[in-house]
Chain A
């Protein structure tokens, strides 16, 4: 009978969700050293970064499965379980896209054209910023639960999400500029390389898109 009171409390998904976005961000963050190394043609360093990315992606995946398992339908929560699962899914995609883009670059031993290298690194940085801002927003989840999704805390999170949106818009602008720059020099590149370069830009830009979707999901929670 002593266990009864304790077992009423299902395992809360809040801290694990915050932990998960932390791992996803750490995964995305590795793109900075990764692409710096790729541009310098230092494959040893690039592969080391790629190893870390794979490890974090794996870690995020495992945590995702664990969180899902501990969220049975019988749980009574202040917000719908489905919304939390959706949030988890888009958080996980930040890590997935990071793995995809780094995998593609490593697989084809791709070279980033020198003329756009600086611009490209800035673009990567901005995407990582978006992931960081997503982490900052999700980390407010426990405070949101404490405040019951009303009041001053909601305004604070709305502000964070707004900032996240601005970062994402910024990555969109940078992405367009980068594509234009690539278009200017694509004739000088190997055609297959050029096609894949577009794809690398696309996949990298997805990271900010996923971060923005994390914001959207959080916003949905706020409206409950």
Chain B
């Protein structure tokens, strides 16, 4: 009885630590695009992130959490000793959190998702046995790490090309922007709401029929688009700034759109990355409470709330500095380009969340930025940095795995 509380206490502490780390670092990347393009101030970005990260985690975070919690480790070989999974999940959480801390202190570009998946696979393969890993599922996840940045890049390429074609290359870009940007707002709101409704809402016990889902998504998107159109119609050209930059007012129109995609980005991030912290936590709690593997037990909402809350705390305490630093450095990503990257990344991530695949938000965003670059939208992309990021994709997995194995054996000896 006593041991259970120790397990749950430790898991909650590590889970919060991890969520805090995600909020402090990962979220900053997701929000910095909006701050860098001056679509949002830092305060607004934190507010948007806090609300939509939380909503994303609670409304659409269920599927990925299930995957992390029970999709990677096959528990049949250890059916007799459920405590092994508890040690393992604790070890994985701590390993990923420590590795993230070390990496971000050194400025290494690593992904939370890669760390936690590497850590779980590591402890399962070495601590329990190679059979204990659902290799087919892990294969799918690793494949998705290649596919998700490519998909996001492809989508952002198409979006930005359409922006160039319909708006930026026209005689009167401002008039065109005012005409088409509400349409983009509609699509941004529609995609994200629809995926959430189709895939996420069943976790909070809401079941809608297909037709209802589509009508609801269209309804919400229309409302958002109308609000956007009203705000846009109030934007008046500023001749003084226009003289320096003909696209000055056009970018201000896009900034309205970017507020919408920033919400989408925060939502998407919450829906996918919160699972990295609470997936293992949920696994530990369910085993510790029942003493067995209850594969069918549903995820309690309050665990999602813990994860969402941890992220918001991390964001508020530390993330604001990161947002400020990154935002200042990415001024090349003006609203017209930034929205394309954000919308593409958010769409990709939300779809992955719906399917329950944990992907890296930051890497998906990098893919999306490259897509805009390929559409000749970005003045200069440093390919050396891109190469370094690719290397980090590979390095993080064994690093997380190694740490998890070490912690696993320590916990196995020390804990009751």
Q: How far is the CA of A146 from the CA of B171 in the complex (A)?
A: 14
Residues of B within 8 A of A1 (CB): 25-26, 29, 100, 103-104, 107-111, 362
Answer whether A6 and B379 are a contact pair too, CB < 8 Å, given A1-B29, A151-B170: no
Q: Is A11 an interface residue (CB 8 A)?
A: yes
The residues of B with any CB-CB pair to A shorter than 8 Å are: 25-26, 28-29, 32-33, 100, 103-104, 107-111, 164, 168-171, 173, 245-247, 322, 325-326, 329-330, 332-334, 336, 362, 365-366, 369, 373, 375-386, 388-389, 392
Say which size band chain A's interface belongs to: 20 to 34
Query: Is the beta-carbon distance between B326 and A152 smaller than 8 angstroms?
Result: no
Per-residue B-contact encoding for A113-155, CB less than 8 Å = 1, 0 else? 0000000000000000000000000000011011111111100
Assuming A3-B107, A4-B362, A142-B245, is B168 touching A147 (CB within 8 A)?
yes
Minimal beta-carbon separation of A178 from chain B (angstroms): 35
Residues of B with C-beta under 8 A to A145: 376, 379
Residues of A within 8 A of B336 (CB): 146
Partner among A4, A12, A72, A142 whose Cβ is within 8 Å of the Cβ of B389:
A4
User: Is B381 within 8 A of A75, CB to CB?
Assistant: yes
Distance (whole angstroms) from the CB of A151 to the closest CB of chain B: 2
State the CA gap A78–B378 with chains docked (Å). Answer: 7
| CA distance in complex: A113, B285 (Å) | 97
A77: min CB distance to chain B, Å: 5
CA distance A13 to B26 in the complex (A): 29
Is the CB–CB distance between A2 and B104 below 8 Å?
yes
Q: 6 A-B residue contacts at CB 8 Å?
A: A2-B325, A13-B380, A72-B384, A78-B376, A147-B169, A153-B246
Contacts A3-B107, A143-B245 hold; do A9 and B381 have CB atoms under 8 A apart? yes
Q: A6 touches which one: B100, B329, B375, B383 (CB < 8 A)? A: B329
Residue of B nearest to A79 (CB): B376
Bound CA–CA A75/B381 (angstroms):
5
Given contacts A3-B107, A153-B169, A9 and B376 within 8 Å (CB-CB)? no
A69 within 8 Å of B by Cβ? no
| CB atoms of A146 and B247 under 8 A apart | yes
With A5-B366, A146-B168, A148-B376 already in contact, 13 other A-B pairs whose C-beta atoms are closer than 8 Å: A1-B104, A1-B107, A1-B111, A4-B109, A9-B381, A72-B382, A72-B384, A75-B381, A76-B382, A146-B247, A147-B168, A152-B169, A153-B169
A76 to B29, CA, bound (A): 21
Query: In the complex, how many residue pairs between chain A and chain B have their CB atoms under 8 Å apart?
Result: 132
Contact flag A75-B169 (CB < 8 Å), given A1-B103, A5-B29, A149-B376: no
Whether the pair A75, B29 counts as a contact (CB closer than 8 A) is no
A6 contacts B325, C-beta separation under 8 Å: yes
Q: Taking the complex as formed, is A7 at the interface, i.e. its CB lies under 8 A from any CB of chain B?
A: yes
> Which residues of chain A have a CB within 8 Å of any CB of chain B?
1-14, 71-72, 74-78, 142-143, 145-153
| CB proximity of A145 to chain B, nearest CB, Å | 5
A142 to B171, CA, bound (A): 17
Which residue of chain B has its CB nearest to the CB of A9?
B332
Once A1-B108, A4-B389, A76-B373 are accepted as A-B contacts, the answer to whether A10 and B381 lie under 8 Å apart by CB is: yes
A78 CA / B376 CA spacing, docked (Å): 5
A residues near B247, Cβ cutoff 8 Å: 143, 146
- Nearest-Cβ distance from residue A224 to partner chain B, whole angstroms: 9
Quick check: A2 and B382 within 8 Å, CB to CB?
A: no
B169 touches A151 (CB 8 A): yes
Instruction: Let me know if B32 and A150 touch, CB within 8 A.
Output: no
- Distance of B327 from chain A, by nearest CB (Å): 8
Q: How far is the CB of A82 from chain B (nearest CB, A)?
A: 14
Chain A residues, CB < 8 A from B369: 5, 8
**Min CB–CB distance A18 → chain B (angstroms):** 10
> In the assembled complex, which residues on chain A have CB atoms less than 8 Å from the CB atom of B388?
4
Write out the residue numbers on chain A whose beta carbons fall within 8 Å of the beta carbon of B171.
152
Q: Which of A3, A12, A74, A142 contacts B326 (CB 8 A)?
A: A3
What's the nearest-Cβ distance from chain A to residue B243, in Å?
A: 10
Residue among B25, B168, B362 with max Cβ neighbours from chain A (10 Å): B168
A6-B164 in contact (CB<8A)? no
Asked if residues B375 and A148 are in contact (CB atoms below 8 Å), the reply is yes
In the complex, chain B residues whose CB is within 8 Å of the CB of A75: 380-383
- In angstroms, how far is the closest chain B Cβ from the Cβ of A142? 7
Closest to A77 in B: B380
Contact indicator B29/A9 (Cβ below 8 Å): no
Report how far A5 CA is from B382 CA in the complex, Å.
11
- B32 to A9, Cβ gap below 8 A? no
Interchain CB contact under 8 A, B386 and A8:
yes
A13 to B378, CA, bound (A): 11
Residue of A nearest to B365 (CB): A5
Contact B377 A148 (CB under 8 A): yes
**A9→B381 CA distance, assembly (Å):** 5
Q: Are B107 and A13 in contact (CB under 8 A)?
A: no
Chain B residue at minimal CB-CB distance from A8 = B385
CA distance A4 to B330 in the complex (A): 11
Q: In whole Å, how far is A154's beta carbon from the nearest beta carbon of chain B?
A: 8
On whether A8 and B245 interact (CB within 8 A), knowing A2-B325, A13-B379, A77-B380, the answer reads no
| A104 to B168 CA separation, bound complex (whole angstroms) | 48
Q: Which residues of A contact B329 (CB under 8 A)?
A: 6-7, 9
Q: Are B322 and A7 in contact (CB under 8 A)?
A: no
Which chain B residue shows the least CB distance to A71?
Answer: B380
Check A4–B385 contact: CB distance below 8 A: yes
Chain A residue with minimal CB distance to B168?
A147
Report if A12-B168 is in contact (Cβ < 8 Å); known contacts: A2-B325, A6-B330, A7-B329.
no
